[in-house]
Structure 1
Amino acid sequence: MKSLKAAAVVAGSVALAGVAAPAFAYDAHHLPPMSVNGALDQLTQQPPTVQDLMPLQHQSNALDTEKKGSVLSRLKDVTTTVNHRPLLGGLPLKR
C-alpha cells in the first residue's frame, strides 16, 4: 500500500508541475525553411555572404600525415606498430 501512495504522490506532483508550468507557443519564424520554395524565398530575400560560404579561411593541419602530432600521423604510427606485432584477439603471440 505504501508504494501505491508513493506512486499517487509522484503522479500528483507531476500533474501539478504540468499545470503550473507556463505554456509557450513555439515561434516558427526562426526555423530554417524546410521546402524548396521556402529556401528559394529566403535566398532571394537574404543572399549569402562570403563569410557564410567560406567560414574557414585557413587550412587545418589535423589531417596531415607528415606532421608529427597530427591525428592521422598518430594513427599511422599505431597501425604500423600493430602490423609488426602478430596478435590473436589482442594478445601477443610468442614465437
Structure 2
Amino acid sequence: MKSLKAAVVVAGSVALAGAAAPAFASTAHDLPPMSLNGGLASIAEHPPTVQDLMPLQHQSDALDTENKDSVLSTVKDATTTLNKPGLLGGLPLS
C-alpha cells in the first residue's frame, strides 16, 4: 500500500508541475529547416567553422575502469558486490 501511495504522490507532483509550467509558442525562425533544400540553404548561409568539425582533443576518463572516480568503475564495483556468492541481488540467501 505504501508503494501505491508513493506512486500517487509522484504522479500528482508531476501533474502539478506540468500544469504550473508556462506554455510558449515557437516561431518559424526558432525551428531548424526540415527539408533538404532548407538544410542546404542553412549550411550555405552559415558554413561550419573549424571548431565545429574538429574531433575531441581530450579523451574522457568517464569510462576508465582504472580511475576510481569514473562512472564505469562505480558500476563495476556495484556489480562485483551484487554478484558475490551467497547473495541474490545483494540480499543473503539464508
Q: TM-score range by the shorter chain?
A: 0.5 to 0.7
The residue number in structure 2 matching 1:79 is 79
Q: TM-score, normalised by structure 2?
A: 0.59
Q: Give, in whole Å, the separation in 1 of the partners of 2:90 and 2:84.
A: 13
C-alpha RMSD of matched pairs (Å) = 2.5
Give the number of the structure whose alpha-carbon radius of gyration is greater. Answer: 1
Q: Give, in whole Å, the separation in 1 of the partners of 2:62 and 2:54.
A: 19
Q: Give, in whole Å, the separation in 2 of the partners of 1:61 and 1:26.
A: 38
The residue number in structure 1 matching 2:5 is none
Contact 2:86 2:92 in 1 (8 A): yes
1:1-95 correspondence runs (5 A): 26-54=26-54, 56-88=56-88, 90-94=90-94
Q: How far off its partner does 1:51 sit? A: 2.1
Contact 1:85 1:92 in 2 (8 A): no
The residue number in structure 2 matching 1:3 is none
Structure 2 counterpart SS, 1:41: helix
Structure 1: 4+ residue segments shifted above 4 A: none
Unaligned runs of 5+ in 1: 1-23
In 2 relative to 1, CA 89–46 (structure 1 residues): closer, same or farther, beyond 3 Å?
Answer: closer
Structure 1 counterpart SS, 2:40: helix
Which structure dedicates a bigger proportion of its chain to helix? Answer: 1
Q: TM-score, normalised by structure 1?
A: 0.59
Unaligned runs of 5+ in 2: 1-23
